Amino acid sequence: MPDVKLKLLIVDDEIALRASLSQIFAELHYTVRTAENGLCALRDIENEIPDVLLSDLNMPVMSGFDLLAEVRRRFSAIRVIAMSGAYSGVQIPYGVIADAFYEKGTGVVSLLEIMTTVTHRERHTGETSRSHLSSLSSQIAR
C-alpha cells in the first residue's frame, strides 16, 4: 500500500473494467477517479492533476495514444501507465509515450507490480512483495 494516498485516474471505455480497477485501487487506499475516454480524462486532469494515469490505448473520441502524448506535453509530472489487450508483453509498445505498460488480461497482480514500480521510482514507498500482492488480490476478489 502506498504510504501517502496517491491520486489515480483510470481511463478506459469499458465501464466494467473501470469499476473493477476502481474498487481494487480504492481498497489499496488510492484516491481513484475515472474517465471513459481521453477527452474526458484531459478535462478531469485540468481540474485536478493525478499522481498516476492508467490509460487504455484504444478508445473512441480521443485515443489513449493521443491522451498520453498530450499529458506528457502539458503535465509531465504525471506518471503514466498505458494498457491494452492489443499488445503483448511488458515492454512499452513502440510509439506509446508512457512510463510503463500493462497487458490487459494478465492479472491484477502484474498490474499491482507495475503500479508499485512506477510509484516507487519517485516516492520510494518501499517494495511490495509478490506474495503480498497475491494476498491482496485474493482478498479483493472475494
**For the chain, what are the domain ranges?**
7-134
**Which of helix, strand or coil describes residue 78?**
coil
Q: Count Cβ atoms below 10 Å from residue 85 Cβ, excluding itself.
A: 12
Q: Does domain 7-134 have CATH number 3.10.20.30?
A: no
Distance CA(106)–CA(2), nearest Å, equals 22
What's the whole-model pTM score? 0.79
User: What's the confidence (pLDDT) of residue 4?
Assistant: 63
Which residue did the predictor score with more confidence, 20 or 89?
Answer: 20
Percent of the chain with pLDDT over 70: 80
pLDDT band with cut points at 50, 70 and 90 for residue 130: very low
Q: Which of 7, 5, 23 is nearest to 15 (CA)?
A: 23
Q: Do 124 and 2 form a contact (C-beta atoms < 8 A)? A: no
pLDDT 10s digits, 66-77: 999 999 999 989
**Does the pLDDT value for residue 126 go beyond 50?**
no
Nearest CA to 37 out of 68, 8, 81, 6 is that of 68
